[in-house]
Chains A and B, each alone.
Chain A
């Protein structure tokens, strides 16, 4: 076996591919949980995008929704910690204040989505403008309030902690690292996988999913068979708001336990890109988010510990900037080569007017 591997390694190009494969297998298990953590907020943003756009509503206010919920969740924790206490509730380092704060963060996300829904569905305003307004207001408002509040540098309600799976599970051959990846997580990161699976099944296998897609593709036809287009759109935008809010809460309540001005740093927009790369499907969007951060993690790995062999020699010679650019290069390659043409829902971004009222 070793002889075979050595023989393969010595063939130019093929050897390099094998060395890269071997390197990824060697470092992969260690970095896998980190990849999912980094991908979580982006994946949730992407799911929000899928949820809205499948029903025909473009939502570029995701960034703003995330930022607001990140702030609201953190600050609710600050206010609630003395009232409800921070006694440990058991798993995930949850405490009463933290859990209630998370719920408040989700509610805030839904409220802002409501604004977007009202503007873009009921009032039929330009959906891009509506989303942009949300983004701008969120940056200004959270930044200003944070300035006011953080003068006293208050203590928050803590953060959700990661579950530590028993090492018997993570040491299992072949699948152990995968279990580790999905189980060594806090509650929000873990919930992403559940959401993705349920969302994917419902979107393509349930009555609600069919109606959502119909409304996004051809709202007029949907209306003629008795689907309430406005209601479906409202519902999807509000549910999408929950996803985006969860992504925001992840930043300030699980990844860190503090809020920082503009802490989303464009993750909502990267989420929209993941949605497009994932062709407007939940699994695809999640995969795209994982892909972005896998390549980031691979780039970091190569920075931290270079692979051995010819591959290592070649990589040493490459400029470090290339590793920073890796996620974007991979996206271009995947988008152009593997995914093919990515087609949005036909009625995406178009306000719907009932015929009777038109």
Chain B
């Protein structure tokens, strides 16, 4: 009896840990799971034959399916929704309905809900929605999908999401109406690096990424390195990764992030710290504030999205999520939008840096001009913001 109950405990513990992981890890965790028979079970086609789009552009039905969390998160969900709203307003169409999943298991269901109601454009927010959006686009090649931060899409020759990441299929032809938005992360990273090197007094700056498997994270930090070196060629950059394997720890665990960040700061004695680690990174920004150094946020203006650390968040490496979504909606309705990877960089005003907010007075007056010059050079295509091996982690300091 004793043994049985202990065994039961252990079994239940394991089962729960496993289920807990698969919940919090979201799409990321399921992507790393062993290839299931059909990753798209549950994604079905809409009813009523081939979808026809309304000729009156005020009649377009646009729906938004966010990632887990809330709509007003001042982060991916909010700016995606704002973009869709702006897109709809420009058309004169109704304000898009928005659905928020309770947990990662509902992502696909929410998208399917819009499909079943014969929506014309379905916008999904964030990388976690990537697989579900890809599946829905595969089952419904005749309606438009906009996936924010989901490009470039990696599909099998059948057009299904490729969990092995071989990317043998051509998403552009296989899924002609799936617009997977991607960003040139090294460019905002470069701007963040310029800010970091300018604000650093010690000449030592740091960058912490969530997980080594995250390509965009690597590009952010590669740009960060080049930008910092542009301002100060002798700058010392320390780079570290919260984990090599655990997505929950990498992006969803601020307590671990704070602990990790504090140890990173005391060991490496940096005085500006760039975080590329989602909500784990919020803890890293906390650690920066506690240590009395500057933090730099990522993806959105984190002085707004994470007010806890706004007093030390000097700027953020930003993706202009709203602009990408509203532009794509306009292009779709105008008939000029193409499927596949929809890449946003400085040329399309898809990236930038956030205002300095409360720390404006601490920032040298010349910095803003330098940043705007760099942005202009990026637009002109004359500034190299990523090393030749862009996205290759081996170029970063260990």
Contact = CB atoms under 8 A, between A and B. Distances in A.
A38 interface: yes
Contacts of A303: 240-241
A147 B70 contact: yes
Contacts of A30: 263, 266-267
Nearest to B14: A269
A302 B72 CA distance: 40
Interface stretch (B1-9, B118-126, B343-351): B1-9
Contacts of A113: none
Interface in B236-252: 238, 240-241, 243-246, 248-249, 252
Contacts of A251: 255
A200 interface: no
Interface string B248-289: 110011111011101110111000000000010011001000
Contact of B263 (A262, A301, A344): A301
B74 A153 contact: yes
A262 B23 contact: yes
B70 A350 contact: no
A263 B13 contact: no
Given A153-B74, A304-B238, A272 B13 contact: yes
Interface in A29-60: 30-31, 34, 37-38, 41, 58, 60
A60 B248 CA distance: 21
Interface stretch (A203-211, A253-261, A332-340): A253-261
Contacts of B267: 27, 30-31, 301, 304-305
B255 A255 contact: yes
Chain A interface size, under 10 / 10 to 19 / 20 to 34 / 35 or more:
35 or more
Interface string B11-45: 01100110011011000000000000000000000
Nearest to B74: A153
A82 B12 CA distance: 42
Contact of B264 (A128, A255, A304): A304
Interface in A114-141: 128, 131-132, 135, 139-140
Contact of B70 (A58, A60, A150): A150
Contacts of B252: 260, 262, 265
A128 B9 contact: yes
B259 A34 contact: yes
B291 to A, nearest CB: 12
B9 A263 contact: no
A27 B264 CA distance: 12
A348 B252 CA distance: 34
A99 interface: no
A320 B241 contact: yes
Interface residues of B, number: 55
A147 B100 contact: yes
A27 B253 CA distance: 25
Nearest to A345: B2
Nearest to B259: A38
Contacts of B243: 324
B69 A147 contact: yes
Residue among A140, A144, A303, A324 with most chain B CB within 10 A:
A303
Nearest to A306: B398
B204 interface: no
Contact of A151 (B70, B263, B266): B70
Contacts of A257: 308
B240 A304 contact: yes
Given A251-B255, A321-B245, A34 B262 contact: yes
B100 A135 contact: no
A300 B260 contact: yes
Secondary structure at the B interface, as helix, strand, loop or mixed, is: helix
A202 to B, nearest CB: 25
A269 B238 CA distance: 33
A266 B23 contact: no
A344 B13 contact: no
Contacts of A266: 17, 20-21
Interface string A299-332: 0110111000000000010001100100000000
A60 B102 contact: no
Contact of B16 (A63, A155, A261): A63
Nearest to A150: B70
A142 to B, nearest CB: 11
B392 interface: no
B286 to A, nearest CB: 6
Given A31-B266, A301-B267, A324-B246, A261 B69 contact: yes
Contacts of B69: 147, 261
B337 interface: no
A39 B212 CA distance: 25
A300 B103 CA distance: 31
Instruction: Indicate the member of A41, A60, A140, A257 with the most B CB atoms within 10 Å.
Output: A60
B43 to A, nearest CB: 24
A60 B13 contact: yes
A279 to B, nearest CB: 13
B185 to A, nearest CB: 22
B98 to A, nearest CB: 12
A272 B11 CA distance: 13
A143 interface: yes
A135 B266 contact: no
Contacts of A297: 263
A128 to B, nearest CB: 5
Q: Which of B24, B71, B240: most chain A Cβ within 10 A?
A: B24
A178 interface: no
Nearest to A255: B255
A349 interface: yes
A27 B267 CA distance: 8
Contacts of B73: 150, 153
Given A256-B254, A256-B258, A261-B24, 19 more contacts: A30-B266, A63-B16, A131-B12, A135-B16, A143-B103, A151-B70, A258-B254, A261-B68, A262-B24, A262-B252, A265-B20, A265-B253, A265-B255, A269-B17, A272-B9, A300-B264, A304-B240, A304-B264, A321-B245
12 contacts: A58-B5, A144-B102, A147-B70, A147-B100, A153-B74, A255-B283, A263-B253, A263-B255, A265-B253, A266-B17, A303-B241, A304-B263
Closest 10 CB pairs between A and B?
A349-B5, A304-B267, A255-B255, A38-B259, A321-B244, A320-B244, A128-B12, A262-B24, A30-B266, A265-B253
